[in-house]
Amino acid sequence: MSDASPINVPSLRAEARDILAKLGVPAGRFAESGLPARSPVTGEVLTHVAPVDAAAATTAIEAAHDAFLAWRSVPAPKRGELVRLFGEELRAHKAELGRLVSIEVGKVTSEGLGEVQEMIDICDFAVGLSRQLYGLTIATERPDHRMMETWHPLGVVGIISAFNFPVAVWSWNAALALVCGNAIVWKPSEKTLLTALATEAIFAKALARFAADGNAVPKGLSAVLTGDRAIGEVLVDHPKVPLVSATGSTAMGRQVGPKLAARFARSILELGGNNAAIVCPSADLDLTLRGVAFAAIGTAGQRCTTLRRLFVHESVYDALLPRLKSAYGSVKVGNPLENGVLVGPLIDAGAYEKMQGALDAARALGASVTGGERVAAADEAFYVRPALVEIGRQEGPVEQETFAPILYVMKYSEFEEALALHNGVPQGLSSSIFTNDLREAELFLSARGSDCGIANVNIGPSGAEIGGAFGGEKETGGGRESGSDAWKGYMRRATNTLNYGRTLPLAQGVTFDV
C-alpha cells in the first residue's frame, strides 16, 4: 500500500452479479475456480468466469463455420434485421450494460453509457449498410460484355478485443461482420469477461426475437471464448477463420500479424497509439485547454487515442502551461460511479507500475513532472493524479505508449520542426492541430502533414464517431473499422465479366484462334 488515502467505495460484487442475472447470463458461464473478474474501482474480485479450453474453442469455431454456410445465403437486409433487433435490445439494456462497463473497467458513468451508445450507433449504421453493400459496374473494353464486382461474405470473423473498450470494439466488428454475412467468434480481454458475457446475453435476446419472427437462426452464429491469450491463439491459428480483427497492444499485433500472414488470412490490426497535438501561435487557448484536458486526462489516459504528446509554440507556452497545470491539479480523481468525478482508476497494478516506470525514466532525462502520484487506494485499486511532464526532447518514454494518463509537453519554435517530431514516433493512430491559421491547418491535413489515420483540427485526438473509418498507420497496424467503407474488409470481392455476344473477343487485342 502507498500513502494514498483509502478509497471508500462499498463492494460492487452484489450489484455486478445482479446485473448479470437480470440480463440472463447463464449460470454455466461462472465457476468458482475459474478466471477472476475484478473491478478496478474497488480492487475486489466480483466473480469467477468458467474458462473455455482449446478444444471447446475449436468446436465453437467449427460451429461458427457451419453457421456461416447458412447465414451467407440469408439476404443482407434480413441479416440487417437481426442487427436492428440487437440495437433495440441494447437500447433497452443500456443502463445495465453501461453500469457494468463502469464497474469492470472503471470508466466514469457517462463514458460507460457512451460506450453502449456507440454500440447502438454502429448497429444503426450496419442496418442501413445491409441495403448498401454496393459493387461497381465497370466499363469494359470488349463489345457485348459487362463487367462488375460483387461482394460476398468471407467466413468466420475472429474478434480479439482489448480491456479499455470492452464491448464497443466488438460491436464495431460484429455489426458489420454480421450484415456482411459472416459468423463471429469473440475472444474478449481476460480483464473484461463480465461485460462480454452481458453483451452475449443481450445478443441472445435479439437472436430469440429474430427466431420468433420466423427466421432461421444458424446455431453457433456468434460465440464468446472466455480465456486468455492462449485461447486467442487458437482463433488466430484456425484455418477456418479467414479474418481476425485484433485490437490491443503493438506487442500483441507483432505476435498475431505474422501468424495470420503466414497462413494468408486477413487481419485488421488496431494497435497502440502515441497521439500528439500541436498548439500553434494562433490557437484559441480556451478551446485548446478543454480539448487537451479531455484528450489527455479522460478515461484516465486509457484510450488508444489518448493525447500523450503536446508540442506548444514558444509564444503561447507560458500562457497555456499554467492553466493546464491548474486543470491537472484540480481535476476530480476518484470513484468513477460518483457524480462529478472525471478520472477513475487505472485498470490494475501492472498499469500503475508501468506509469511509475515511465515517469522515473522521464525524470532521469531531466523532465519536470507534475502529478502522477497515487491519490486513493485499496489493495488492488490504483487511482492516480494525471501527470504533466515538461521535457526538453522527444526521447525515451516519450517515444512509447504508456497506457496511463501521462502528457509529455515540449516547446517548439518552427512549425516544420514540430511536424517532424509529431510524426517522429513509431505509432500513427490519431493527431490534432490547434490553430486558426488556414495554411497550418491545411498543411497538417495534407500528404506532407500528419502521418496518422486520424487527423483533426481544433479538436483533440481522443475519441471518434462511428461514421468514419477508424484506425492508424505504422505500428498502429493499418486496420480500419467502423464507418465509411470499412465493411469491405469483412467481405471478399469478385470481379465478374459477362459476355452477352456471340463472339469471344479477348482483352488487350490478343488473338487465339483454334
Beta bridge partner(s), residue 434:
279
Least distance from ligand NAD to the Cβ atom of residue 248, Å: 3
- Minimum CB distance to ligand NAD smaller for 218 or for 242: 242
Min separation Cβ 323 and ligand NAD, Å? 28
Quote the least distance from Cβ 305 to ligand NAD, whole Å: 8
Rounded alpha-carbon distances, angstroms, from residue 437 to 171, 277, 282, 409, 441: 38, 15, 6, 22, 6
| Nearer Cβ to ligand NAD (247/450) | 247
| Residue 84 near residue 186 (C-beta atoms within 8 A) | no
Q: Which is nearer to ligand NAD, 82 or 295 (CB)?
A: 295
Task: Kindly state the smallest distance separating residue 236's Cβ from ligand NAD, in Å.
Answer: 5
At 26, list the grid cell.
447463464
CB of 61 to ligand NAD, least distance (A): 14
By C-beta, is 185 or 418 nearer to ligand NAD? 185
Q: Do 375 and 330 touch, CB atoms closer than 8 A? A: no
- Least separation in angstroms between CB 175 and ligand NAD: 16
Query: Could you tell me if 449 and 455 are in contact, meaning their C-beta atoms sit under 8 angstroms apart?
Result: yes
Q: How many CB atoms lie within 10 A of CB 82?
A: 29
Mutual orientation of helices 94-105 and 109-129 as an angle, nearest 10°? 130
Of 371 and 428, nearer to ligand NAD (C-beta) is 428
| Cα 284–chain centre separation | 30
- Asked if 199 and 168 touch (Cβ cutoff 8 Å), the reply is no
Q: Is 115 a catalytic residue?
A: no
Nearer to ligand NAD by Cβ, of 47 and 189: the residue is 189
CA distance 232 to 198: 20
3-class DSSP string for 139-164: CCCCCCEEEEEEEEECCEEEEECCCC
The residues of the shown chain that bind ligand NAD, judged by CB under 6 A, are 160-165, 187, 189-190, 228-229, 232-233, 236, 247-249, 252, 255-256, 270-273, 304, 401, 403, 429, 472, 476
For the four alpha carbons of 103, 104, 110 and 116, in that order, the dihedral sign comes to negative
Q: How far is the CB of 111 from ligand NAD (least distance, A)?
A: 14
Q: How far is the CB of 41 from ligand NAD (least distance, A)?
A: 18
Q: What are the strands of the beta sheet with 243-247, ordered from one edge?
A: 222-224, 183-187, 156-160, 243-247, 266-270
Nearest distance from C-beta of residue 244 to ligand NAD, angstroms: 8
Cβ–Cβ under 8 Å, residues 308 and 452? no
Residue tagged active-site, from 270, 401, 440, 475 = 270
Residue 37 phi/psi, 5-degree rounding, is -110, 115
Nine cell digits for residue 14:
452484489
Question: CB-based contacts of 228: which residues, under 8 Å, 6+ apart?
Answer: 35, 190
Neighbours of 100 (CB within 10 A): 29
Cell of 340: 462529478
Among residues 271 and 491, whose Cβ is nearest to ligand NAD? 271
Alpha carbons 225 and 54: distance in angstroms, whole number:
10
Q: Which is nearer to ligand NAD, 216 or 251 (CB)?
A: 251
d(CA 337, CA 131): 40
Q: Give the span between the Cα atoms of 275 and 378, in whole angstroms.
A: 31
Which H or E run contains 172?
Answer: helix 168-179
The C-alpha cell at 430 is 490519431
C-alpha cell of 135?
459493387
Q: Contact, 355 vs 387, CB < 8 A?
A: yes
Cell numbers placing 182? 459472416
Task: Kindly tell me which of 81 and 401 has the beta carbon lying closer to ligand NAD.
Answer: 401
Task: List, by residue number, the catalytic residues.
Answer: 270
